[in-house]
């Protein structure tokens, strides 16, 4: 009996140690949408199933898949170091799927180390709901149970919708404070600016009219700023009927803006207006937090997808400002330039895309914006070149090559090689902007001789205000425009490298060879024409000796500064301080972090000067502004996401979390902490959430990371003259610091790991 009992115990212990249950996959995505089966009505969530929505057409909104071969993604537990296979079952009903007898698609066991698949089952039928689930195998050949069931609706593409996307979402918010100013006058503060509608539930003892004011900023305490450039303010009347009633304020349509073909609000949402403050006048009843509500509109946003906190309280406030800005400015479902125009611009989209990826793992809004700007371009030369960067970022974060494949021929035009001279450099001023060329990049339909690309460098280019923090008017640091400009060709060089990579991925060997040769030619010409032989700095153009921050920071960001000139170039860039706009700051900060100038870069991020993100907070804005201050752009918007560079810089550069392989199967974690004593970050990639925590003191520096399941990470830690012994998970390891001064530990599996430098 004792021997039998011992055998049972040993068998149980063996099963616990070897036959562990493999957790089921979760966070299922269809065509990058997470989730793809949630219903809403006029933006608000509804607790109903997709099948119920189909029977009540046009009553509810839900995500729609427009891809006839949708992508499927899922995440696995951190205990799974590597997956070796998966099985997807898809059916036309839940009941069929529960029997594990799929009538649409069964992949069987597919050998793969990916947590993704492309649909290859029966042709999908438009307007139909499909149900699917997935299981995986780990590297011990153990199978997980099936995931929970996910569903989606497939719809054929039409002239308006091409990209799978979510409907707009809404939140009902109460004011954070209410002040009764005088008899019949109430002042309400909703805490933050937002694109929203106003709802009232009030009781009146008479039939009467009240006045409602809404605005983004204050002129003085409890007095809304009424007119100031593009800072929004509105006043309108509302007729109240005697008794208790509900009212929704109907904002007027901006006819001037609508003549410029902006992104329009969908009918199920209606018009929105950006406001934080509300004043109600001539109301003879009582107002409380239940009386007035704000219906905030935004694209789907996961508040828990990211988090940041550090020892620098200003930096923390800047992070909060930028994270909220990404959410607040998503109100159309596209990356738009703010409320003044509500139009997608390539430069806005590029920064918005990176910041959106940093604070939430959401990719469909970027895709809709990319597709829009390809066919509705704007006038700045380098913004055409940003199309290539937008597509590359999409591929890097999603791993989906089909989007590049779809628009590859468009990118070949957007790169502007037709504007190249004999030296390989491109120019908009050498009579190469023919009608045929402009039509090829969709910049106009009927060429009239007056329109075309113009070099931008930064915006605004001009401006009278200088002051103690500026030497030149405008935001270009006195850039001298020439026939051939350094900034434009720095972009061009960077894009040629990206196009070579894309051509290689698409097996277009001749194209790849051509782009590689062009990039090398540009590098040589760039040094010959733009490099000042006396100083090693980059001149603005081919016919000037003027040297600006922009010419040098873009060249540094895009790899055009020879090693012998690095120190002098960085020194010059630092001497110019923040002599660029909120847009240019994206590239300035990238250049600094990429060249181990994290201390100075963090100083800029957490600066309290007038040209800083903290200045936006100090002036009362709760969304990043179009410019550093109204002084530099009198007609600025208070709702411009192209000012959100710190969101993506903190994630990608300061905490150093970036995909190394497309789709983030392999990631890099390379913190650059400057003088911060501690910092904690979580950010979500397609494969799951990445966490990085750093703290330092006199005795050691400690970095803790959590790597998602089935993801491999390379962790790079900055070497320190005082701390030379490196420990990983309690064991000392021998790693030599590279030329960049970092210890790199490669191929670290998923799960929690602790690194200590002593």
Tens digit of each residue's pLDDT (9 = 90 or more) over 440-478? 999 875 444 457 999 999 999 998 888 788 899 999 999
User: Are residue 332 and residue 411 in the same domain, yes or no?
Assistant: yes
User: Are residue 419 and residue 503 in the same domain, yes or no?
Assistant: yes
User: Are residue 288 and residue 309 in the same domain, yes or no?
Assistant: no
Domain ranges, residue 174? 169-298
How far is it, in rounded angstroms, from Cα 165 to Cα 349? 17
- Pick from 105, 123, 153: which residue ends a domain? 153
- CATH number, domain of 112, equals 2.60.40.10
pLDDT band at 9 (very low <50, low <70, confident <90, very high): very low
pLDDT tens-digit series, residues 565-608 = 999 999 999 999 999 999 999 999 999 999 999 999 999 999 99
Q: Using the predicted structure, report yes or no on whether residue 10 has a pLDDT greater than 60.
A: no
Tell me if 346 sits within 8 A of 376, measured CB to CB. Answer: no
Burial grade of 83 (CB within 10 A; 0-12, 13-18, 19 or more): buried
Beta-carbon contacts of residue 261 (< 8 Å; ≥ 6 apart): 343
Q: What is the DSSP letter of 565?
A: G
Number of separate domains in the chain: 4
Looking at residue 58, what is its pLDDT? Answer: 81
> Which of 53-67, 431-445, 496-510 has maximum average pLDDT?
496-510
**Residue for token pair 């040209």:** 611
User: Are residue 464 and residue 612 in the same domain, yes or no?
Assistant: yes
* 659 lies in some domain: no
Quote the pTM value.
Answer: 0.95
Whether the bond into 460 is cis, omega within 30 of 0: yes
Beta-carbon contacts of residue 688 (< 8 Å; ≥ 6 apart): 27, 75, 76, 78, 708, 709, 711
User: Are residue 289 and residue 307 in the same domain, yes or no?
Assistant: no
Residue 237 forms beta bridges with which residues? Answer: 211
Residue 498: name the closest of 474, 515, 482, 485 by CA: 515
pLDDT tens-digit series, residues 381-414 = 999 999 999 999 999 999 999 999 999 999 999 9
How far is it, in rounded angstroms, from Cα 680 to Cα 688? 17
- Pick from 298, 319, 340: which residue ends a domain? 298
Q: Using the predicted structure, report yes or no on whether residue 4 has a pLDDT greater than 70.
A: no
Backbone angles phi, psi at 619, to 5 degrees: -80, -5
Looking at residue 99, what is its pLDDT? Answer: 93
- Give me the mean pLDDT over the 11-34 stretch: 75
Backbone angles phi, psi at 746, to 5 degrees: -95, 160
pLDDT band at 15 (very low <50, low <70, confident <90, very high): very low
3-state secondary structure of 137: strand
User: Are residue 497 and residue 600 in the same domain, yes or no?
Assistant: yes
Tell me if 730 sits within 8 A of 678, measured CB to CB. Answer: no
Looking at residue 721, what is its pLDDT? Answer: 82
Looking at residue 100, what is its pLDDT? Answer: 94
User: Are residue 594 and residue 737 in the same domain, yes or no?
Assistant: no
Q: Name which of 14-18, 275-279, 666-670 the model is least confident about.
A: 14-18
Secondary structure percentages of the chain, helix, strand, coil, to 5: 30, 25, 45
Q: Which two tokens stand for residue 368?
A: 């809709």
pLDDT tens-digit series, residues 720-739 = 888 889 999 999 999 988 88
* 661 lies in some domain: no
User: Are residue 377 and residue 414 in the same domain, yes or no?
Assistant: yes
Looking at residue 348, what is its pLDDT? Answer: 96
DSSP-assigned states of every residue in 695-753: EE-SS-EEEEEEE-TT-EEEEEEE--SS---EEETTEEE-----TTSEEEEEEEPSEEE
How far is it, in rounded angstroms, from Cα 537 to Cα 622? 38
Residue 294: name the closest of 190, 167, 185, 212 by CA: 190
Query: 438-462: buried (b, 16+ CB within 10 Å) or exposed (e) per residue?
Result: beebbbeeebeeeebbebbbbbbbe
Residue 178: name the closest of 249, 273, 275, 277 by CA: 277
Angle between helices 509-530 and 549-557 (to 10 degrees): 150
User: Are residue 95 and residue 231 in the same domain, yes or no?
Assistant: no
- CATH number, domain of 197, equals 2.60.120.260
Looking at residue 445, what is its pLDDT? Answer: 53
Angle at Cα 591 formed by Cα 587 and Cα 596, nearest 5°? 150
Tell me if 36 sits within 8 A of 151, measured CB to CB. Answer: yes
Q: Using the predicted structure, report yes or no on whether residue 308 has a pLDDT greater than 60.
A: yes
User: Are residue 699 and residue 560 in the same domain, yes or no?
Assistant: no
pLDDT tens-digit series, residues 530-561 = 999 999 999 999 999 999 999 999 999 999 99
User: Are residue 73 and residue 143 in the same domain, yes or no?
Assistant: yes
pLDDT tens-digit series, residues 213-272 = 999 999 999 999 997 778 999 999 999 999 999 999 999 998 888 877 899 999 999 999
How far is it, in rounded angstroms, from Cα 630 to Cα 228? 9
Residue 713: name the closest of 661, 756, 755 by CA: 661
How far is it, in rounded angstroms, from Cα 282 to Cα 207? 12
Residue 205: name the closest of 242, 175, 251, 170 by CA: 242
Query: 335-351: buried (b, 16+ CB within 10 Å) or exposed (e) per residue?
Result: bbbbbbbbbbbbbbbbb
Tell me if 214 sits within 8 A of 194, measured CB to CB. Answer: no
DSSP-assigned states of every residue in 269-325: T---EEEEEEEEES--S---TTTEEEEEEES---GGG-EEEES-HHHHHHHHHHHHH
* 269 lies in some domain: yes
Q: Dihedral through CA 27, CA 32, CA 33, CA 35, nearest 10?
A: -10
- Give me the mean pLDDT over the 284-291 stretch: 93
Q: Using the predicted structure, report yes or no on whether residue 7 has a pLDDT greater than 70.
A: no
Looking at residue 18, what is its pLDDT? Answer: 45
User: Are residue 12 and residue 98 in the same domain, yes or no?
Assistant: yes
Looking at residue 449, what is its pLDDT? Answer: 46
Looking at residue 702, what is its pLDDT? Answer: 97
Backbone angles phi, psi at 198, to 5 degrees: -115, 130
Looking at residue 56, what is its pLDDT? Answer: 78
Q: What is the DSSP letter of 625?
A: -
Looking at residue 349, what is its pLDDT? Answer: 98
* 164 lies in some domain: no
Tell me if 537 sits within 8 A of 530, measured CB to CB. Answer: no
Determine if residue 58 is left, alpha or beta; phi over 0 gives left, psi from -120 to 50 gives alpha, anything else beta. Answer: left
Q: Using the predicted structure, report yes or no on whether residue 17 has a pLDDT greater than 60.
A: no
- Pick from 298, 320, 339: which residue ends a domain? 298
Q: Using the predicted structure, report yes or no on whether residue 25 has a pLDDT greater than 70.
A: yes
Average pLDDT, the chain: 94
- CATH number, domain of 643, equals 1.50.10.10
Residue 45 forms beta bridges with which residues? Answer: 40
* 704 lies in some domain: yes
């Amino acid at each position: 009996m004792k021997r039998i009992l011992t055998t049972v115990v040993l068998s149980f212990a063996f099963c616990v140690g070897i036959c562990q249950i493999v957790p089921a996959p979760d966070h299922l995505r269809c065509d990058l949408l997470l989730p793809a089966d949630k219903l809403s009505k006029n933006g608000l969530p509804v607790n109903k199933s997709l099948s119920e929505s189909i029977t009540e057409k046009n009553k509810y909104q839900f995500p729609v898949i427009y891809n006839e071969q949708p992508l499927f993604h899922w995440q696995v537990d951190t205990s799974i170091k590597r997956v070796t296979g998966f099985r997807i079952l898809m059916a036309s009903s839940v009941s069929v799927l529960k029997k594990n007898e799929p009538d649409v698609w069964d992949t069987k066991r597919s050998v793969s180390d990916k947590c993704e698949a492309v649909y290859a089952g029966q042709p999908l039928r438009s307007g139909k709901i499909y149900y699917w689930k997935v299981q995986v195998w780990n590297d011990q050949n153990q199978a997980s149970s099936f995931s929970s069931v996910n569903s989606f609706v497939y719809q054929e593409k039409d002239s308006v919708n091409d990209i799978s996307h979510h409907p707009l979402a809404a939140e009902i918010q109460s004011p954070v404070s209410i002040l009764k100013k005088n008899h019949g006058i109430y002042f309400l503060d909703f805490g933050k600016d937002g694109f929203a509608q106003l709802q009232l539930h009030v009781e009146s003892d008479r039939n009467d009219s009240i006045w409602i004011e809404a605005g983004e900023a204050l002129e003085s305490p409890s007095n809304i700023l009424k007119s100031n450039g593009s800072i929004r303010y509105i006043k309108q009347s509302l007729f109240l009927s005697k008794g208790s009633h509900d009212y929704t304020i109907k904002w007027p349509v901006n006819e001037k803006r609508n003549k410029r073909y902006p992104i329009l609000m969908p009918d199920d949402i209606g018009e929105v207006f950006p406001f934080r403050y509300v004043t109600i006048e001539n109301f003879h009843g009582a107002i409380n937090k239940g009386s007035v509500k704000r219906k905030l509109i935004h694209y789907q946003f996961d508040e828990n997808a990211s988090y940041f906190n550090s020892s620098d309280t200003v930096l923390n406030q800047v992070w909060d400002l930028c994270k909220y800005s990404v959410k607040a400015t998503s109100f159309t479902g596209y990356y738009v330039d703010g409320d003044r125009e509500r139009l997608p611009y390539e430069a806005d989209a590029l920064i918005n895309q990176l910041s959106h990826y940093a604070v939430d793992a959401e990719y469909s809004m970027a895709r809709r914006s990319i597709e829009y700007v390809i066919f509705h371009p704007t006038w700045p030369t380098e913004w055409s070149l940003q199309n290539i960067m937008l597509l590359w970022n999409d591929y890097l974060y999603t791993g989906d090559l089909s989007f590049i494949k779809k628009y590859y021929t468009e990118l070949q035009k957007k790169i502007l090689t037709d504007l190249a001279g004999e030296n390989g450099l491109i120019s908009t001023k050498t009579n190469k902007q023919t009608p045929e060329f402009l039509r090829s990049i969709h910049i106009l339909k009927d060429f009239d001789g007056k329109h075309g690309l113009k070099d931008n460098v930064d915006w605004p280019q001009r401006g009278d205000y200088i002051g103690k923090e500026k030497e030149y008017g405008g935001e270009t640091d006195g850039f001298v425009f020439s026939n051939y400009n350094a900034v434009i060709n720095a972009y061009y060089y960077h894009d040629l490298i990206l196009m070579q990579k894309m051509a290689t991925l698409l097996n277009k060997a001749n194209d790849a060879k051509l782009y590689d040769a062009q990039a090398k030619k540009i590098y040589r010409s760039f040094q010959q024409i733009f490099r000042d032989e006396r100083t090693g700095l980059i001149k603005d153009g081919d016919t000037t000796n003027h040297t600006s921050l922009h010419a040098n920071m873009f060249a540094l960001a895009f790899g055009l500064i020879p090693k012998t000139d690095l120190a002098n170039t960085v020194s010059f860039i630092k001497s110019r301080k923040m002599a660029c706009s909120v847009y240019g700051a994206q590239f300035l900060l990238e250049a600094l972090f990429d060249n181990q100038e994290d201390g100075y870069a963090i100083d800029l991020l957490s600066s309290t000067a007038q040209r800083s993100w903290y200045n936006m907070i100090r002036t009362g804005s709760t969304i990043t502004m179009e410019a550093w201050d109204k002084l530099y752009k009198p007609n600025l918007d208070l709702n411009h996401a192209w000012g959100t560079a710190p969101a993506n810089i903190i994630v990608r550069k300061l905490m150093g979390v970036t995909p190394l392989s497309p789709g983030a199967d392999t990631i890099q974690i390379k913190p650059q902490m400057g003088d911060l004593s501690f910092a904690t970050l979580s950010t979500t990639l397609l494969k799951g959430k990445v966490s990085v925590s750093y703290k330092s003191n006199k005795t050691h520096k400690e970095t803790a990371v959590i790597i998602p399941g089935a993801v491999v990470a390379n962790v790079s830690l900055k070497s320190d003259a005082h701390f030379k012994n490196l420990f990983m998970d309690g064991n000392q390891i021998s790693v030599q610091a590279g030329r960049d001064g970092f210890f790199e530990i490669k191929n670290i599996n998923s799960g929690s790991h602790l690194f200590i430098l002593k």
